[in-house]
Amino acid sequence: MGTLRDLQFALQLKIEELRQRDSLIDELELELDTKDDLIRQLQTELDRHRNASQHTGSTENTVPDEPQRTKRQAISAEPTALDPAQLTHVTLTNYSKSEESRELIHRALLENEFMKHLEQGQIQTIVDCMHPTRLARGCCVIQEGDDGSLVYVLEEGKVEVTKGEQKLCTIDPGKVFGELAILYNCTRTATVTALTDIKLWAIDRQGFQTIMMRTGLIKHSQYMEFLRSVPSFQLLPEDVLSKVADVLEETHYSEGDYIIRQGATGDTFFIISEGQVKVTQQKSSNEEPEFLTTLSRGDWFGEQALKG
């Protein structure tokens, strides 16, 4: 049986392998995004020619495809030992901060590759729960090889990152570091030392996991409530509704964006979580769209798309 150090080393190798895999996925996604941009450009050009054809007397009724939806990505972490039933009894402490500090932490989280995909409510709660730490010049913030459980945002001063005897980089205010500690239960991969007197904001793994699980359970409960209000789903058993709630994806639209175009092929069912949408119908190509109704939070549309 391997020693703890052997297991930690094996875990570190696995994390590095996952990083390389994620890097490859990012490259492939970038390539797909490039191709998607080309497809949209071609579609726009095609629509322009079709519109020109319509204006010259064509009666063909063309409808652009539904716009691409911006799906919120998620970050994954190790399985947590927290019991969901105990989450309501776990107290999250809020720490007082100046408005400048809150803005700096918020901006740093949004610029971090792991944190930027969190929902705004989750980021806001993390900002509230981060506690202050001050260290003098020369102090070690993170020691390579130690077990890590804190993630930091640097507000004042400068720190240096080294691995072994090699200097990797320096970190200036407004940056996140040590984030792997709240995603994976692993040893620190580098040493971070204060080059000046520094001020940090930090949150530990349990606090982070509590925030993620609590907001996740609240969101799942909201999804279940929405689904129970849809007539097409009212006869479904609870376990099936729960699975549907698990696969719902949060989507954001700006004011004035088209969500569904009349005549376009539909394959998506929508439930409104925030905001309002306007429903219109165009009875003929020569008439202006007619206003039908306004839908708001808890309303749904597009359910027929699930039936083919």
Alpha helix (H) ranges present in 60-145?
Answer: 99-111, 120-129
* Residue 274 assigned to a binding site: no
| DSSP structural state of residue 187 | B
Segment holding 16, helix H or strand E: helix 4-55
How far, in Å, are 44, 63, 76, 110, 203 from residue 182 at the CA level? 44, 47, 10, 16, 9
Query: H or E segment at 61?
Result: none
Q: CA torsion sign, 163 to 194 to 150 to 100?
A: negative
Cα(75)–Cα(153) distance, integer angstroms: 18
Q: Which residue has the tokens 């027929």?
A: 304
- ∠ at Cα 119 (113, 123), nearest 5°? 75
Q: Is 19 one of the annotated binding-site residues?
A: no
Residues 6+ apart with CB under 8 A from 249: 69, 71, 72
- Structure-block tokens of residue 14: 């696995």
Indicate the angle between helix axes 205-228 and 120-129, nearest 10 degrees: 150
Task: State how far the Cα of 144 lies from the Cα of 188, in Å rounded to an integer.
Answer: 5
119 annotated as belonging to a binding site for a ligand: no
Angle, in degrees to the nearest 10, between helices 120-129 and 99-111: 130
Q: Name the phi and psi angles at 212, rounded to 5.
A: -65, -45
- Binding residues, by number, are 179, 188, 303
- Binding residues for 3',5'-cyclic AMP, by number, are 179, 188, 303
